[in-house]
Structure 1
Amino acid sequence: MEEIKKLLESFIPIAKSTAKMFGSNCEVVIHDLTNPQASVMFTVNNHVTGREIGQSFDHLVKTVLQSKDFKEDYLAGYTFVTADLRTIRSSTSLIRDSKQKVIGAFCINFDVEALNQMQQFMNTFLSTHDEVQDNVKKSDNDIGNVEGIVDQLIQQIIQNSVHPVMKRHEKIELIRFMDEKGIFLMKGSVEKVASLLGISKVTVYSYLDEIKNKSS
């Protein structure tokens, strides 16, 4: 029994370095399977699952050993959910003695809840190529709606500002405002503004040139 204890304890530095490498969300547990009723003989970062020394194993038989992917004494990447509904991603490797008898298990439990939330955010934030294409098509279909909205903005802006004795500098300031708001990025906006202001399209362009020259 002392030999088994020393062999299992030899994995403690690996457990500590693994936990240190992957941070506080990574728990490492060493089981002594010669004492299955109280198999946990070492833990680090045990806040992840709450494993305590002296507890028994949980997933070894039902999840690990019965998995079709359990080969060569290990199973990597299986998951389970804690009582407080956090997803844990785990790996378990068996430990054998010199006679090839299974005496222990080396388990890594990683709390991936934060990563899951990040993945959900990234999936929402980043569109796939197909989704981008779909969005482009929808935007093309909505051009008429966008033009209608801009038309309403132009009419409202001018309606709020125009008066019978409107002076040249007032018209220039009104066009400056619309230029700053991106109104003239829309096709046909110059013609619409010119019509509503009662001036020519050429005059609107000259005002825009004047505005540009003054700002440069």
Structure 2
Amino acid sequence: MTINARDELMKYIPIADAIAQTFGKNCEVVLYDLTTSQSSVIYTTNNHVTGIENGHPFNHLLTQVLLSKNLQNDVAANYQIASNGKENVKSTSVLLRNTGGDAIGCLTINYDTEPLFQIQQFLSDIVVKENPLDLKKETEYNNVQEIAKTLIQQIIGESDVEKMDRRKKLEIVASMEEKGVFLIRGALETVADALQVSKVTIYSYLDEIRDRAEGN
């Protein structure tokens, strides 16, 4: 008994369904009968991706698959199509042959990648892009006092404390206050030692700085 092409292609329907169910609603699978140019689409699943329906011709397959230089070993992989108002549809087509070796059909997977681009944009918006925190370096600190010392030294920098006048020391203490250095327990004593002044002097600096802030 001779089996016509369409009957032979129907056995691929479970494969089409399996692919679509595996990759979800954004994955459309289309089965074509290449023995007829008209009404060549014989089965679709998740056809909301491109809007292809049963009975459609295979016109676009001519250039993108059958005549494509990318067709290797009966597979044209990862080409892009725009259909149904969607610009980011990734497609792969496989030629289906009968026992005589004739290409009688084509199974095409169309995947809507637009949601992936949206996720990519979302991740790009929330990921820190500049000055990433060096966690390895942070683990070198054993306690908050060490962190305080590091901050204080960074603020003082290369300045010669012995030659520093009151105005400059007041400016440095103001910068430390702004950065929250004095919220760390023991920081005030450390700052006093670093600036070679008494704790009482640091208190007077802070009072002056806070009075100015309240005045503004």
Which TM class, normalised by the smaller chain length? 0.5 to 0.7
Shift of 1:13: 0.6
- Whether 1:77 and 2:83 are equivalent positions in the alignment is no
- Whether 1:179 and 2:201 are equivalent positions in the alignment is no
Q: What is aligned with 1:22?
A: 23
Shift of 1:89: 0.8
Q: Any idea what SS the aligned residue of 1:59 has? A: helix
Q: What is aligned with 1:162?
A: none
Q: Any idea what SS the aligned residue of 2:86 has? A: coil
Shift of 1:64: 1.9
Shift of 1:10: 0.5
Q: Specify which structure has the higher proportion of helix.
A: 1
% identical equivalent positions: 34
Shift of 1:69: 2.1
Q: What is aligned with 1:64?
A: 65
Q: Matched residues in 2 for 1:85 and 1:156: separation?
A: 50
RMSD: 3.8
- Alpha-carbon distance change, 189 to 120 in structure 1, aligned in 2, over 3 angstroms: farther
Q: What is aligned with 1:54?
A: 55
8 Å Cα contact 2:50/2:84 also seen in 1? no
Residues 55-204 of structure 1 aligned to structure 2 (within 5 Å): 55-123=56-124, 125-126=126-127, 151-152=174-175, 154=177, 178-179=183-184, 184=187, 188=191, 194=199, 195-198=201-204
Shift of 1:38: 1.4
Q: Any idea what SS the aligned residue of 1:10 has? A: helix
Deviations along 1:62-106, one digit per CA (max 9) or x if unpaired, are: 222333221111111111223423411111011112222221110
Count of aligned positions: 165
Q: Matched residues in 1 for 2:33 and 2:184: separation?
A: 75
The code of the aligned residue for 2:174 comes to: D
Q: Matched residues in 2 for 1:152 and 1:35: separation?
A: 80
Q: Matched residues in 2 for 1:9 and 1:63: separation?
A: 23
When structure 1 is superposed on structure 2, of 77-86 and 32-41 the one drifting more is 77-86
8 Å Cα contact 1:155/1:196 also seen in 2? no
- Alpha-carbon distance change, 26 to 155 in structure 1, aligned in 2, over 3 angstroms: closer
- Alpha-carbon distance change, 156 to 112 in structure 1, aligned in 2, over 3 angstroms: closer
- Alpha-carbon distance change, 156 to 87 in structure 1, aligned in 2, over 3 angstroms: closer
Q: Matched residues in 2 for 1:149 and 1:61: separation?
A: 74
Q: Matched residues in 2 for 1:80 and 1:150: separation?
A: 63
TM-score (norm 1): 0.61
Q: Matched residues in 2 for 1:107 and 1:98: separation?
A: 20
Unaligned residue ranges in structure 2 (runs of 5+)? 135-153, 156-170, 206-216
Q: Matched residues in 2 for 1:92 and 1:2: separation?
A: 24
- Alpha-carbon distance change, 125 to 68 in structure 1, aligned in 2, over 3 angstroms: farther
8 Å Cα contact 2:41/2:58 also seen in 1? yes
Q: Matched residues in 1 for 2:88 and 2:126: separation?
A: 22
Q: Matched residues in 2 for 1:49 and 1:189: separation?
A: 72
Unaligned residue ranges in structure 1 (runs of 5+)? 137-142, 158-174, 200-216
Q: What is aligned with 1:202?
A: none
